[in-house]
């Protein structure tokens, strides 16, 4: 998988840096330094890194779930409206409304899904949504049953508007560049600290243990960064928001 390949690349690169520094410093036979200040630094810095990373991962995960829940809720409301069209007395208006529902769902699955993956709005789908809302609000009310259905439809379209706006906002939200740069910088600093911690022991067992630790730390950091970056865009990568609720709805309406 791509994420594990990236993690392996970070691990291999970290080990190579460690070996190069070990080879250079091994020429200084008297090269020694106390590791206590470095250990204290790594302990404090690692705690700050963990807090920062946990906060970022929580925000990204919440955003991802918000988009997925929004897709499911929007599809449910659209299906409710579609079912209500069968209760209207004016069949011409009902069929027109059902057609607008189908066109909107197709637009979401087509152009909007692609545009959101690129971090852009979709004017075409927005126009389809406006057309849907206008056709719903102009449904003729013939009798008392139509009046009841029309009231429920208005309530549904208000919920639909709110859910759609929340879904689009969550879909277009990305990690700020400053926060991402901070994560990368802290990751490099933490990894380099572990490399320095393993340098003084130039014996074969020490180099072996240092290599193992640095590979594990580097791979873990690379994998965590890859997960955050992958989930930051819920439409591209390994973890994707599923459009299945819209596909199921589209099948029901055809």
pLDDT in tens, 37-59: 888 888 999 999 999 999 999 99
Report residue 9 as tokens.
Answer: 């690349």
CA 191, 194, 199, 205 dihedral sign is: negative
What mean pLDDT, rounded, does the chain reach?
Answer: 88
Interatomic CA distance for residues 187 and 221, integer angstroms: 7
Report residue 73 as tokens.
Answer: 């809720």
Interatomic CA distance for residues 11 and 215, integer angstroms: 5
SS (H, E, C) 155-170: HHHHHHHHHHHHHHHH
Element at 147 (helix H, strand E): helix 144-172
pTM as predicted: 0.83
End-to-end CA distance of the chain: 37
Burial classification of residue 38, based on how many CB atoms lie within 10 Å of its CB (0-12 exposed, 13-18 middle, 19 or more buried): middle
Nearest in space to 79 (alpha carbons), one of 109, 102, 113, 106 = 102
Q: Are 231 and 237 in contact (CB under 8 A)?
A: yes
Q: Are 9 and 244 in contact (CB under 8 A)?
A: no
Q: Phi and psi (nearest 5°) for 26?
A: -65, -20
Burial 86-123 (b: 16+ CB within 10 A, else e): eebeeeebbebbbebbbebbbbbbeebbebbbeeeebe
Going by pLDDT thresholds of 50, 70 and 90, the confidence category of residue 126 is: very high
Residue 30 pLDDT > 90:
no
Among 104-108, 194-198, 230-234, the range scoring the smallest mean pLDDT is 194-198
Report residue 52 as tokens.
Answer: 């920062």
Place of tokens 């449904």: 139
Most confidently modeled of 7-21, 112-126, 204-218?
A: 112-126
- pLDDT value at residue 161: 95
Nearest in space to 207 (alpha carbons), one of 25, 18, 12 = 18
Q: What contacts 158, CB < 8 A, 6 or more positions away?
A: none
- pLDDT value at residue 67: 94
Max CA distance (Å), the chain: 97
Interatomic CA distance for residues 137 and 74, integer angstroms: 18
Interatomic CA distance for residues 202 and 95, integer angstroms: 79
Going by pLDDT thresholds of 50, 70 and 90, the confidence category of residue 125 is: very high
């Amino acid at each position: 998988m791509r994420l594990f390949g990236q993690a392996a690349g970070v691990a291999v690169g970290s080990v190579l840096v460690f070996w190069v520094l070990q080879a250079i410093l091994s020429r200084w036979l008297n090269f020694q330094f106390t590791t206590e200040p470095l250990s204290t630094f790594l302990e404090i810095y690692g705690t700050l890194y963990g807090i920062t990373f946990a906060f970022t991962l929580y925000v990204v995960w919440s955003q991802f779930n918000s988009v997925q829940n929004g897709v499911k809720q929007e599809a449910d409301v659209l299906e409710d409206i579609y079912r209500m069209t069968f209760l209207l007395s004016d069949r011409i208006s009902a069929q027109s409304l059902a057609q607008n529902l189908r066109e909107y769902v197709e637009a979401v699955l087509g152009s909007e899904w692609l545009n959101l993956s690129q971090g852009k709005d979709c004017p075409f789908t927005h126009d389809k949504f406006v057309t849907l809302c206008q056709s719903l609000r102009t449904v003729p009310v013939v009798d008392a049953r139509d009046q009841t259905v029309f009231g429920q439809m208005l309530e549904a379209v208000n919920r639909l508007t709110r859910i759609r706006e929340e879904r689009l906002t969550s879909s277009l939200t990305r990690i700020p560049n400053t926060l991402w740069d901070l994560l990368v910088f802290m990751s490099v600093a933490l990894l380099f600290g572990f490399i320095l911690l393993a340098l003084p022991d130039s014996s074969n067992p020490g180099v072996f243990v240092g290599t193992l630790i640095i590979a594990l730390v580097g791979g873990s950091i690379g994998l965590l960064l890859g997960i955050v970056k992958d989930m930051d865009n819920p439409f591209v990568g390994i973890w994707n928001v599923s459009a299945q609720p819209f596909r199921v709805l589209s099948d029901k309406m055809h």
